[in-house]
Structure 1
Amino acid sequence: MTANPLDDPFYYLNNFQRVLAWLSQRYADVLSSEEQRFIEDFSALPRGSQGLLVRMVMRKGLRFRHGKLNYGEIGDIGSAVAPLLALGWVDEQAPLGLVELFEVLLKAEILSCLGHLIEQPKARKTEWLQALEGHFSQPQTFRDWCPQLEDRLYSLTVMPLCDRLRLLFFGNLYQDWSEFVLADLGIFTYETVEFSAESRGLRSRQDVDACLFLHDCQQRFEAGEALEEVVAQVNGLTLDNPWLERRRGKLLFQIGQHGERIGDFALALCIYRDCTYPGARLRMIRVLERIGEYALALELGETAAQAPQNAAEAQALFRIVPRLRRKLGGPPVPRSLAREVERLDLHLPRIDPTLSVEYHVQAHLHDDAAPVHYVENSLINSLFGLLCWPAIFAPLPGAFFHPFQRGPVDLLNEDFHERRAELFAACFAELDDGRYRQTILRRYAEKWGVQSPFVFWGALSGELLEQALDCLPPEHLRHWFLRLLLDIKANRAGMPDLIQFWPQRKAYRMIEVKGPGDRLQDNQLRWLEFCHEHQMPVAVCYVQWAEQGA
């Protein structure tokens, strides 16, 4: 039986050392001299000192009271911290402002240290802080603030460096050290992917600095700094990394949307004009219409309609362009009638107000000979994810950077399918010769619980898969899967809520459910139109609640 990594009291240190070894092997040419020296010096530390530093790095905050550092595997904290103080990685003399002091002291300790200045001992800490701020203007060390307390305060100085190492390992700053523990506990399981020398998100020191700069710009934007300054700095960044270029585009797009929300349309237009992020062109057309520049909006809309970026843009332009023509005095353009959709009208008693309208419809329509499942986006996405697992997790350059990815980094890129065209073709070939059924069932068993951007493990069951594979024609699966690949971000949502099977005659029907007052959303309309185009049985069920006792 394999030993549980968490049985080792230094499990967290082992994980940190694993990261350092990974970086030394794969990013030696990218590491700065400071980072290389840190890795070398860390390896020479006593085990207890290594453990204490990692404990601090993995905890929240940068300041730690000696009395609250109590780890059995480390032992004496004073002995463990001494080498860290000598290296300057931990500082015992860091100056603290009054706000920082209040963050590390209890109320009783504040009274002990500053009680002679506090007029209302029963007030809250925030009230004390406001009252005392005028008394102190200069930071002091913890010992100077609180000479009577028999405790020491340690300030961590290497957190920015450790964050850079974390960035290099994960390729982002939203994943943290807890990923290792969650994997060790079996809460998350990840597909094992072979990493090549090209499998790096940050390929140079310039990439690291640029990524950190973009992260800083994102934080400054979210903190409310002047938008023009942030945009100018983001645009001034020189990049030759397509992955980072997409990150820049996404940040600019977010700033443009914020500009719209606050009414800064000039800024929004300036951003959208040069932004390559998907959706920027459509947002620009909408802004031009909003400020009354109908001619410019129409010109851009008609150009976009010749080659829409995706189905969502085509759908929006189908509404916008005729509207703009009318605003410019053009003749009314007759709209093509939407296809009629099979409609179900139900009056149902609301048996349980805590349950959704979809569950009420499911219970009403369900029959042993015609079972109904609440699947929404889960079933089709999962069938696609199981059949096309080898293509999705192919170890292409720039797709996988580290062992804790639930999918490839380029999943939402426009060339995701193109880069894997042969691999997807091989998967789809199984739909032609019938192998797909056994492949999907086998992967369901073999890959159970492994993280995937498509497979909804919690929504799947062996019974659901068997019924789906019995009743869904392979040509329909092919149509769905190809549509997913056309625009993964947009098309993996909006699918009908329910699916009903008739196993005896190998038939099915998808059902979109709308409660009182609900309307079909754009992505749902696109899916309904797609189903009609390919003669897939689908209905829209409109529900009204019946009066109780009527």
Structure 2
Amino acid sequence: MHDGENRVSTARANDYIRAEQRRFRRAQSGRAWAIKDLPQFYYLNNFNRFLADIHANCFDLLGQPELAFLTAFDALPQPAQCTYVRMANRRGYVFDKTKFRYDEIDQIDAQWQVLRDHDFVDPIGAALFRDWLSALPKPELTLVLAESVCETLFRKSWKKDRLIDIGHAHIDPDDAHIPDRFVAQGHRDTLQYLLFLYFGKIEDNLQAFTLRDLGLVKLSEIKAAKLRFQTIEEARTAYFYARALHDFKQGTDHDALSLISEVEDWPEPLCEQSARHAGKLLQKLGGWSERRDDTDAALALYDRSDSAHSNERVVRIRWSRDMADDRDWCRTRLEAMIESPASDTEAQFAEDFYARKFHKKRTSATTDLLRSATELFLDEAYRNQPERAALRHYKAQGLDAYRSENVPWRNLFGLLFWSLLHTSDMPRRRVPEILRAGQFYATHKDEIERRLARLDTPHRVLLDLLKTLSLHYGEDNALVHWGSRSLDRIQALVSHAPHGAVATILRQMAQDWRGTKDGFPDLMLIDDGRIRFVEIKTSGDSIRRNQLTRMRQLTAAGFECRIVKVRWAVDPDQPYVVVDVETTGGRPGLHRLTEIGAVKMIGGEVADEFQTLLNPQRSIPPHITRITNITNEMVAGAPLFVEIAEQFRTFMGDAIFAAHNVNFDYGFISAEYEMIDQRFRHPKICTCASMRRLYPGHRSYSLKNLCGDFEIDLKSHHRALCDARAAAALLCLINDKRMSD
């Protein structure tokens, strides 16, 4: 199980959360952290605080529907308020009243009438008919279909989503009998708008507040919508496009067709956010239309957007139609894009496409770059972590190597221009509006150039950056990633870059943040005092357009950039640690370790072994004892995991983590480290999956059966060290096969 998978899912119902936290507390009495109790009406307190924040901070962005909602909700009796908030906390908009049972809400049936009288619940009409079908249990849904739809149109065995589509397409909502026990949430759009003002994005329910109280996620206070939108018209337009994008991603083909049919009635974007979302929505709908082979609709949608992606798609579609008029149009359009490109990305596409179509160049710049890449052979156990494997390789060669990508550039940019980007009345959890709107360089040109000039004296600018870092370290910030090596990477970049190169890139970022904020190469290497950037690619990888653009910009600025293609091989000297764990149950984080056994393998030989019982700080269930023969008495005097954590980390070293069904063992080990606020990260290989791939045809790939088939000793099955030794023997078979192939 991967890190974090033991956390409560946002999709779980609120009434499950408190039961879950009680189970966590009982199971983890010795855990380094514990989920705190929530007060009885925590959800109502959260909702009222949310409404108060909206009223205090966004009053000018509220219209008559929102103000009426605030007043009406405040006038409701507390039990009715609780019922509405419980409803708003659930997924969807249609609910079965019989499934609402909460101990703290008295006479809940009476509360539904109160809510109906004040329009906080609605009858289910045609607009919510699909939601009603979704709210039905599958057996009841099939009965509804059997009564209203020809039986040849569906099968009961079909998935529920498909049955819902059938019902929505073939049942007239006006003819459907909807039981009185179903109600719809009232004031849906009003509440969604208020949540949008608070979070800056579309939220389907109030789960984020509960997860914050449980300590499972961080949630900032109101995102200062008043500073993002100058008028209520701007806020409503931004909400329209954010809502439409959300509905498109979550919706059906019917929803997409509805959006396209109403495109003439879309509001004019009035702010940077709505303009960005409008362009993205047009791109999404254009792509959807292309996938349906409706190129005329796609062209009409792309033509409404002036983004680089839309302009590219228009050219490609018209070229593919292979008509003389279209070819002439494409030539003219490409020449105009080359002459006056909207962005570097657009210029790159236009130049490349024009060269291939009109100058008979056979391959694209992307293909040329990939073909010129050098190759690097690495152990295939790192197959899922190619950048980390390459970093390890370069460090072994004695180079100063850093994971770079976008982080050092954003950190340097954010620290160098901190005082210009962040004033006292600006939110720091979002990219500053002046940057997103493309006005930063024009507004502060003289001061930006003065600071860029200081990069010519690295020791002085590093002192300035250190002061800013020390003063603001840890503050919430959308630009700067605070980490233990933040300054190390910046220092390497500033100190070893060619003269003027860093200033050139930062100037481009200041002038066009949206076009230059990402796509930087994976690794930064310092070789004999010279800096080199490396983009890592594996078989089947492609170069994204923004990556190609960034490499061109870096090269033009004076940096050396390369693409390295990783080829997977078997390193005979690669150390492996084959691990097996015994536990009190099957869920990492909830259940605990009782034993660890590990075998270190180098070159196919056993180099060392590790074994210890562990005190799980909870009782071992009898059925687990019957399997492992590990009793509560045996572990009573055993060490806690925290007492052996450093010893096991040292034993692991830089080895690859191997196990039979590796995610189980790795999940438990990493969860134990998480409990003591440490990270555990190693590449991993699964002996079970590898045996299936390399030795097909066995009746079973369990450890016991494979040991029987290959005559491997397994005398104390379900004891950690014995199982680890057996899995190590399988690893030898796996590596022998890999090397022979």
Post-superposition offset of 1:182: 5.2
Post-superposition offset of 1:42: 1.7
Distance 1:16 1:371, change over 3 A: same
Q: Spell out the pairing of 1:294-373 with structure 2 (5 A cutoff).
A: 294-326=327-359, 345=374, 348-367=377-396, 370-373=399-402
Distance 1:83 1:436, change over 3 A: farther
Contact 2:498 2:558 in 1 (8 A): no
Which residue does the alignment assign to 1:120?
Answer: none
Amino acid at match of 1:268: A
C-alpha distance in 1 between matches for 2:141 and 2:341: 65
Q: Deviation per CA, 1:186-225, whole angstroms, max 9, x where unpaired?
A: 73365998x596x253723586278438845874796334
Q: Spell out the pairing of 1:270-281 with structure 2 (5 A cutoff).
A: 270-281=300-311
Distance 1:300 1:449, change over 3 A: same
Structure 1: gaps spanning 5 or more residues: 115-122, 144-151
| Partner secondary structure for residue 501 of structure 1 | strand
C-alpha distance in 1 between matches for 2:283 and 2:536: 33
Post-superposition offset of 1:308: 1.0
Which residue does the alignment assign to 2:508?
Answer: 483
C-alpha distance in 2 between matches for 1:164 and 1:536: 47
| Partner secondary structure for residue 381 of structure 2 | coil
Distance 1:210 1:200, change over 3 A: closer
1:247 aligns with 2:277: yes
Contact 1:189 1:451 in 2 (8 A): no
Q: Spell out the pairing of 1:167-246 with structure 2 (5 A cutoff).
A: 167-174=196-203, 177-181=206-210, 185=215, 187-188=217-218, 190=220, 199-201=227-229, 203-204=231-232, 208=236, 211-212=239-240, 215-216=243-244, 219=247, 223-225=252-254, 230-231=259-260, 233-239=262-268, 241-243=270-272, 244-246=274-276
C-alpha distance in 2 between matches for 1:275 and 1:175: 28
Contact 2:201 2:242 in 1 (8 A): no
Q: Deviation per CA, 1:242-271, whole angstroms, max 9, x where unpaired?
A: 343443333223333334444433333334
Q: Spell out the pairing of 1:80-159 with structure 2 (5 A cutoff).
A: 83-90=114-121, 100=132, 103=135, 138-140=175-177, 142=179, 155-159=184-188
Match of 1:257 among 280, 284, 287: 287
| Partner secondary structure for residue 479 of structure 1 | helix
Q: Spell out the pairing of 1:464-543 with structure 2 (5 A cutoff).
A: 464=489, 467-468=492-493, 471=496, 475-501=500-526, 507-516=530-539, 520-543=543-566
Match of 1:377 among 406, 409, 430: 406
C-alpha distance in 2 between matches for 1:367 and 1:290: 49
Which residue does the alignment assign to 1:119?
Answer: none
Q: Deviation per CA, 1:499-519, whole angstroms, max 9, x where unpaired?
A: 2236xx754332223445656
Which residue does the alignment assign to 1:50?
Answer: 81
C-alpha distance in 1 between matches for 2:393 and 2:178: 70
C-alpha distance in 2 between matches for 1:230 and 1:356: 40
Is 435-444 or 302-311 further displaced after alignment?
A: 435-444
Identity level (%): 22
Distance 1:347 1:33, change over 3 A: closer
| Partner secondary structure for residue 366 of structure 1 | helix
C-alpha distance in 1 between matches for 2:206 and 2:368: 52
Match of 1:14 among 25, 45, 51: 45
| Partner secondary structure for residue 535 of structure 2 | strand
Which residue does the alignment assign to 1:61?
Answer: 92
Structure 2: gaps spanning 5 or more residues: 1-34, 147-155, 571-737
Q: Deviation per CA, 1:403-430, whole angstroms, max 9, x where unpaired?
A: 9x53346754444543565675576466
1:406 aligns with 2:406: no
Distance 1:377 1:90, change over 3 A: same
Amino acid at match of 2:236: V
Post-superposition offset of 1:538: 3.4
Q: Deviation per CA, 1:389-413, whole angstroms, max 9, x where unpaired?
A: 44444578xx86xx9x533467544
Contact 1:94 1:141 in 2 (8 A): no
Higher relative contact order (CA 8 A, sep 6+): 1
Amino acid at match of 2:417: C
Contact 1:48 1:80 in 2 (8 A): yes
Distance 1:247 1:438, change over 3 A: same
1:35 aligns with 2:66: yes
Amino acid at match of 1:535: G
Q: TM-score, normalised by structure 2?
A: 0.56
Distance 1:364 1:323, change over 3 A: closer
C-alpha distance in 2 between matches for 1:239 and 1:62: 29
Which residue does the alignment assign to 1:147?
Answer: none
C-alpha distance in 1 between matches for 2:534 and 2:442: 32
C-alpha distance in 2 between matches for 1:213 and 1:512: 35
Distance 1:189 1:479, change over 3 A: farther
Post-superposition offset of 1:39: 0.9
C-alpha distance in 1 between matches for 2:37 and 2:443: 39
Q: Deviation per CA, 1:30-66, whole angstroms, max 9, x where unpaired?
A: 5343432221122233334323322211211334455
C-alpha distance in 1 between matches for 2:256 and 2:110: 49
C-alpha distance in 2 between matches for 1:520 and 1:223: 31
C-alpha distance in 1 between matches for 2:535 and 2:135: 52
Which residue does the alignment assign to 1:290?
Answer: 320
C-alpha distance in 2 between matches for 1:297 and 1:169: 45
Post-superposition offset of 1:298: 0.8
| Partner secondary structure for residue 352 of structure 1 | helix
Post-superposition offset of 1:530: 2.6
| Partner secondary structure for residue 506 of structure 2 | helix
Q: Spell out the pairing of 1:384-395 with structure 2 (5 A cutoff).
A: 384-394=413-423
Amino acid at match of 1:12: Y
| Partner secondary structure for residue 541 of structure 1 | strand
Contact 1:66 1:153 in 2 (8 A): yes
Amino acid at match of 2:534: I
C-alpha distance in 1 between matches for 2:486 and 2:245: 44
Post-superposition offset of 1:79: 6.4
C-alpha distance in 1 between matches for 2:83 and 2:392: 56
Contact 1:191 1:406 in 2 (8 A): no
Distance 1:257 1:320, change over 3 A: same
Distance 1:81 1:549, change over 3 A: closer
| Partner secondary structure for residue 262 of structure 2 | helix
Amino acid at match of 2:520: M
Amino acid at match of 1:253: Q
C-alpha distance in 2 between matches for 1:171 and 1:81: 31
Amino acid at match of 1:365: Y
C-alpha distance in 1 between matches for 2:58 and 2:540: 56
Distance 1:105 1:125, change over 3 A: farther
Is 272-281 or 85-94 further displaced after alignment?
A: 85-94
Which residue does the alignment assign to 2:706?
Answer: none
Post-superposition offset of 1:366: 0.6
Which residue does the alignment assign to 1:117?
Answer: none
Post-superposition offset of 1:494: 2.8
C-alpha distance in 1 between matches for 2:290 and 2:378: 43
Post-superposition offset of 1:319: 2.0
How much is the aligned-residue C-alpha RMSD, in angstroms? 5.0
Post-superposition offset of 1:305: 1.3
